[in-house]
């Protein structure tokens, strides 16, 4: 795809990401706490832990680190899993009487899952960017375009911060994330299975 066609799609993707993976789940989390909907709270807390990989990826992208393309792609695989994996949460949410909160949460789960799955498929070609050195990454238009939104984020929120420092924060965050995920998959998952509430 030509860079001229790709650029508006990349920006549309990031705007959808801000809406579906940041704004709506934040509103839902506050709403679930106010409504004392414990299962929904738990689901959304788990979601935020998993989705933090998207935020980490933004910082890796600011520093133009090639692993940015892999971490962002994996985040889109993990998010739908985190939303539907827990049998007890699914049952508790299904058993709740119909309400605006239940309808909104269910609609958001489906919309986010579809968005992430489509993103996983659409971004398969970008995984080749992860094999490039940073300089080659910047010189390859189809890869560099994906870095524009993280750079825009830096201009808004971290205008005075050094790019290398923000990249270091991304690497630190990624290291902690991988360690926690490994611990969960190798140790906790075997003990608690697909139950999120009781372990």
pTM of the model: 0.92
Q: What is the average pLDDT value for the chain, to the nearest integer?
A: 93
Distance of CA 129 to the CA centre of its chain: 19
Question: Are the beta carbons of 124 and 142 closer than 8 angstroms?
Answer: no
The sign one gets for the Cα dihedral 169, 18, 51, 120 is negative
More confident site: 33 or 195: 33
Q: What is the mean pLDDT of residues 117-139?
A: 92
Please give the structure tokens belonging to residue 45.
């807390």
Q: Model confidence over 10-29: pLDDT tens digits? A: 999 999 999 999 999 999 99
3-state DSSP assignment of residue 64:
coil
Q: What is the mean pLDDT of residues 52-66?
A: 96
Gyration radius of the chain over CA positions:
18
> What percent of the chain lies above the pLDDT cut of 90?
84
Question: Are the beta carbons of 62 and 151 closer than 8 angstroms?
Answer: yes
Please give the structure tokens belonging to residue 80.
């739908």
Please give the structure tokens belonging to residue 129.
């960017």
More confident site: 3 or 99: 99
> What percent of the chain lies above the pLDDT cut of 70?
98
Alpha-helix residue ranges (DSSP H) falling in the chain? 3-17, 24-34, 38-62, 67-84, 87-95, 100-122, 134-139, 141-144, 148-157, 163-183, 189-192
Model confidence at 193, pLDDT cuts 50, 70, 90, reads: confident
Cα separation, 11 vs 101, whole angstroms? 29
Q: Where are the domains of the chain?
A: 3-192
Residue 199, pLDDT above cutoff 50: no
Query: What integer pLDDT is reported at residue 2 of this predicted model?
Result: 72
Q: Model confidence over 135-183: pLDDT tens digits? A: 888 899 999 999 999 999 999 999 889 999 999 999 999 999 999 999 9
Query: What integer pLDDT is reported at residue 49 of this predicted model?
Result: 96
Of 37, 69, 121, the closest CA to residue 28 belongs to: 37
Of 21, 36, 19, the closest CA to residue 99 belongs to: 36
């Amino acid at each position: 795809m030509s860079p001229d066609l790709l650029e508006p799609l990349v920006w549309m993707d990031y705007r959808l990401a801000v809406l579906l993976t940041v704004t709506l789940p934040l509103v839902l989390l506050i709403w679930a706490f106010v409504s004392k909907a414990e299962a929904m709270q738990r689901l959304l807390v788990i979601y935020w832990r998993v989705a933090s990989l998207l935020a980490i990826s933004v910082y890796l992208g600011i520093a133009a680190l090639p692993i940015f393309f892999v971490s962002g792609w994996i985040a889109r695989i993990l998010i739908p899993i985190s939303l539907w994996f827990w049998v007890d949460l699914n049952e508790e949410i299904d058993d709740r009487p119909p309400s605006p909160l239940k309808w909104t949460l269910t609609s958001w789960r489906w919309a986010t899952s579809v968005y992430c799955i489509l993103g996983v498929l659409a971004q398969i070609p970008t995984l080749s960017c992860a094999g490039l050195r940073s300089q080659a990454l910047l010189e390859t238009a189809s890869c560099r375009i994906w870095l524009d939104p993280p750079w825009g984020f830096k201009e808004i929120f971290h205008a005075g911060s050094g790019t290398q420092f923000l990249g270091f924060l991304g690497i630190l965050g990624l290291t902690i994330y991988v360690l926690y995920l490994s611990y969960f998959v190798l140790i906790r998952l075997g003990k608690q299975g697909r139950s999120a509430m009781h372990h």
